[in-house]
Structure 1
Amino acid sequence: MNGSYGPTRWQTSPNLDLNQRVAQRQAAGDPLVHLGFGESRLPAFGPLVERLVAGAGRNAYGPVEGADSVRAAAAGYFARRRLPTEPGQVIVAPGSKPLLMALQLVVPGDVLLPRPCWNTYAPQARLAGKRVFGVPIPEACGGAPEPAALRQTLRTARAQGHDPRILILTLPDNPTGTLAPPALVRELAAIAEDENLLIVSDEIYRDVLHDPATPFLSPAEVAPERTVVTSGLSKSLALGGWRIGVARFPAGPWGEHLRTGVVSVASELWSTLAGPMQEVAQYAFDEPPEIRRRLADSARLHGAVARAVHRIMVDAGARCRPPTGAFYVYPDLEPLRERLAPRGVTDSPSLHRQLFDQHGIVVLAGHHLGDDEHALRFKAATSMLYGTTREQQEASLAAPDPLELAHVREGLTRIEEGFHKLCA
């Protein structure tokens, strides 16, 4: 394997394990600032709850790929994003994660990943018996490999007898909170054409662009015959615990072959998306005005708080890409290495421990995301700062300036004070 991509085969996913440990510490009374888990910390939107209740009577299994009405709604969702889609190209599932795993089981060949990337991609590939090749990301953004490095990785891997066939992109990106620009997406799509790669475009954060005017190009627009798009409602509508995912497959014989394979895997692993969740999915993917307003309000909040945390990191002396999507920042404390070394901070694990144990700030260490273990980088999930109660979270969402709210300011102040002490 090229790069350091997370846990060994039978370990719990590091972000889920960390979240459980933090919950235990908080239950014991530890006042932690939890930035280590990628959850959109907002309440379930009232109309979504109403649809869930209305769907409670849908207790039959139904089609593996999802009901016709749900897939038609999802097809409309994609079509409104410049991806003309027929319902037959769509599968819904209990989250996008099982759809990504099913693709790993169906598509042969090894996997190319941006480095760093979401900590689930590589373990899934290994569970499917594949090798993983990490490719560094460009200076400007994450979620996509640097093109020249991608070509070199392909040459080297094939010269060593390996068979990379799948390229995974994340648009916008987890962990950096940035978006690959259209020119870069076009260049990577051209490489995929030249090298006969399947692109898996994870677009679960597409509706969490901080500025709706930001140009977004899906590889499915420029390489439609070789791109599978995955998405879901966990991030944009804060429904992580409800587990609603969707995949869009290419039109034509190869796309139908991929889709048939994923349906086959689904029939043995999860059977179908739960009926009440299909009721929710149909309503959400139809995007009535109240859903569009909720998406816009959420994206505005995510952007305001992510930018505030970014400023704190930069003011502390870190390098950090300005966030433009999702709800993450990915600071690099390399400029502070000499200052941190006397405190025992020399690599990603020791930086995580110092922040956790000495300053009560919880982050996800970069080496869990495929990054160099000796680097001083981590992911901070800024969405965890919106409050601990439904009332606080709704207030954060409604506020013209959420940074003026006492509970948001308190979290930001604790982060600022902790990094001032760490880096002083």
Structure 2
Amino acid sequence: MTGRMSPNLALNQMVDRRRAAGESLVHLAFGEARLPLLPGLARELAEGAHRTAYGPIAGAEPARAAVAGYFRRRRLPTSADQIVLAPGSKALLMALQLAVPGDVVLPRPAWNSYAAQAGYAGKHVIGIPVPAACGGVPDPAALRLAVLAAKARGRDPRLLVLTLPDNPTGTLAPPALVREVCAVAAAEDLVIVSDEIYRDLVHDPVATPFLSPAEVAPDRTVVTSGLSKAFGLGGWRIGAARFPGTDSGQRLRDAVVAVAGEVWSALAGPMQHVAEYVYAEPPEIQARVAAGARLHGAVARAVHDVVTRAGAGCRPPTAGFYVYPDFEPVRERLRDNGIGDSAGLARRLLDDSGVVVLPGHLLGDDPGGLRFKAATSLLYGDDEQQRLSLAADEPARLPHLSAVLDRLAEAFARLTAPATRR
């Protein structure tokens, strides 16, 4: 058991407190997509307000059927009986940790909740470095060796968590790499959990093709998703999971439903009404997803440009709204300014420039590294500025966004300035 608040949530609450006290902070530490609420979503929520009964634990059939249709349109044949709804995908990920015995294998770095949930489930975490080209999946050769070594030590790796596209690096593993990882999972009999909550936020789907592990290893892959990222509905807590259409998949689904029955009972009825509408993907929904992906891509690329101009190495973002810079190339200059690890780097950015980031060691990365996650999705401003950002051909040139990008450039330049100038 960790006994600590989730670090990204803790930082978000810290930002709220300090902003309320009058501080000006640039918040890059929380992966929330704040976009204007679509009128259709408000309408569906109101129309579903009368649904006050608990309903089926896995979700009502119309909502599950809509989610099944969403997956079918993404090359994954799915029936409503393969779907479970929940108050957010995080709840489903925790239920899977409880339902699958043995230890868990994670890419390193990875979203901070995976390891914390494993701890609450009593699991040992086996962290595997990600490839140089992308995050979200472990290096396949390192994965095979680490699993064999863990078994030799008496560990029992059973669960492999992948993130496609990735949080924290903002990248998407290419199809060839997904196939390699799935082959290792099959050889070592690992259940795959593919967290695909950012799937619809690939910046350029033609240039960056998406292959789900459920297409490659359908009998052993559970896919989790939700509506918090593409629609900015994190506070509404709507998540969904797709289980394999096999006997073993049905047993795993039943185990997750059993956990749900003791933990959250059912997704709230009004939220199921919203889910049924969104997962049917009417034109309003398709247009918002496309606009959001364009906006996220433009701003993530702009922040990527800022950090690389400051001397950091950084994988080019291709999906979602994250960048994961590595300031190792300027380690000597940072050391001259008293910065030697990810915690110190994050602390200096906050103290000197009011820039809040999530340091890499909180994501399972090497504490001595000079890496952090920067979430770019909170830079779009208030509701009206968000609308302007969604509509703009070049959102990074809008005054409110160009001003914050200039502030970030100054902050990173200050990090590496000669000590005599500080």
Give the TM-score, by structure 2 length: 0.98
Shift of 1:75: 0.1
Shift of 1:394: 1.1
Contact 2:337 2:416 in 1 (8 A): no
- CA deviation vs aligned residue, 1:154-179 (integer Å, no higher than 9, x gap): 11111110000110000000000000
1:203 matches 2:203: no
Structure 1 residue identity aligned to 2:245: A
Q: How does 1:393-404 map to 2 (within 5 A)?
A: 393-404=386-397
The 3-state SS of whatever aligns with 2:105 is strand
d(CA) in 2 for partners of 1:105 and 1:403? 43
d(CA) in 2 for partners of 1:129 and 1:37? 27
**352, 359, 380: which one pairs with 2:353?**
359
Shift of 1:380: 0.2
Structure 2 residue identity aligned to 1:218: S
1:165 matches 2:125: no
Shift of 1:212: 2.2
d(CA) in 2 for partners of 1:14 and 1:404? 32
- CA deviation vs aligned residue, 1:270-324 (integer Å, no higher than 9, x gap): 0000011001000000000110010000000000000000001111100000000
Shift of 1:99: 0.3
Matched residue, 1:422: 415
Q: Between 243-252 and 41-50, report the one with greater CA deviation.
A: 41-50
1:72 matches 2:65: yes
Structure 1 residue identity aligned to 2:194: S
Matched residue, 1:376: 370
1:413 matches 2:406: yes
Matched residue, 1:3: none
Structure 2 residue identity aligned to 1:374: G
1:184 matches 2:177: yes
**341, 348, 351: which one pairs with 1:347?**
341
Matched residue, 2:81: 88
d(CA) in 2 for partners of 1:345 and 1:186? 39
d(CA) in 2 for partners of 1:105 and 1:396? 41
Matched residue, 1:58: 51
Shift of 1:423: 1.6
**330, 340, 344: which one pairs with 1:336?**
330
**274, 284, 288: which one pairs with 1:280?**
274
d(CA) in 1 for partners of 2:123 and 2:56? 30
Structure 1 residue identity aligned to 2:74: R
Matched residue, 2:144: 151
d(CA) in 2 for partners of 1:333 and 1:15? 21
Matched residue, 2:264: 270
d(CA) in 2 for partners of 1:107 and 1:290? 38
d(CA) in 1 for partners of 2:134 and 2:193? 18
Matched residue, 1:227: 221
Structure 1 residue identity aligned to 2:258: S
d(CA) in 2 for partners of 1:192 and 1:344? 43
d(CA) in 2 for partners of 1:24 and 1:408? 23
**10, 13, 16: which one pairs with 1:20?**
13
The 3-state SS of whatever aligns with 1:383 is coil
d(CA) in 2 for partners of 1:397 and 1:423? 33
- Percentage of matched positions with identical amino acids: 64
d(CA) in 2 for partners of 1:412 and 1:216? 30
**226, 230, 233: which one pairs with 1:239?**
233
| Unaligned stretches of 5+ residues in structure 1 | 1-7
Structure 2 residue identity aligned to 1:343: N
d(CA) in 2 for partners of 1:348 and 1:420? 17
d(CA) in 1 for partners of 2:261 and 2:52? 17
Q: Between 42-51 and 344-353, report the one with greater CA deviation.
A: 42-51
d(CA) in 1 for partners of 2:247 and 2:73? 24
- CA deviation vs aligned residue, 1:307-353 (integer Å, no higher than 9, x gap): 00000111110000000001000000001110011221100110010
1:392 matches 2:409: no
Q: Between 320-329 and 41-50, report the one with greater CA deviation.
A: 41-50
Matched residue, 2:133: 140
The 3-state SS of whatever aligns with 2:374 is strand
d(CA) in 2 for partners of 1:286 and 1:317? 45
Structure 1 residue identity aligned to 2:136: G
The 3-state SS of whatever aligns with 1:373 is coil
Matched residue, 1:33: 26
Structure 2 residue identity aligned to 1:63: P
- CA deviation vs aligned residue, 1:360-409 (integer Å, no higher than 9, x gap): 1110000000000000000000111101x211111111112111211111
The 3-state SS of whatever aligns with 1:385 is coil
- CA deviation vs aligned residue, 1:30-67 (integer Å, no higher than 9, x gap): 11111010001212212111111111111111100000
Matched residue, 1:292: 286
d(CA) in 2 for partners of 1:44 and 1:91? 25
- CA deviation vs aligned residue, 1:174-217 (integer Å, no higher than 9, x gap): 00000000000000111111110100000000001001212100
d(CA) in 2 for partners of 1:409 and 1:234? 26
1:252 matches 2:246: yes
The 3-state SS of whatever aligns with 2:225 is strand
Matched residue, 1:4: none
d(CA) in 2 for partners of 1:365 and 1:261? 35
Give the TM-score, by structure 1 length: 0.97
Structure 1 residue identity aligned to 2:133: A
Matched residue, 2:420: none
1:125 matches 2:114: no
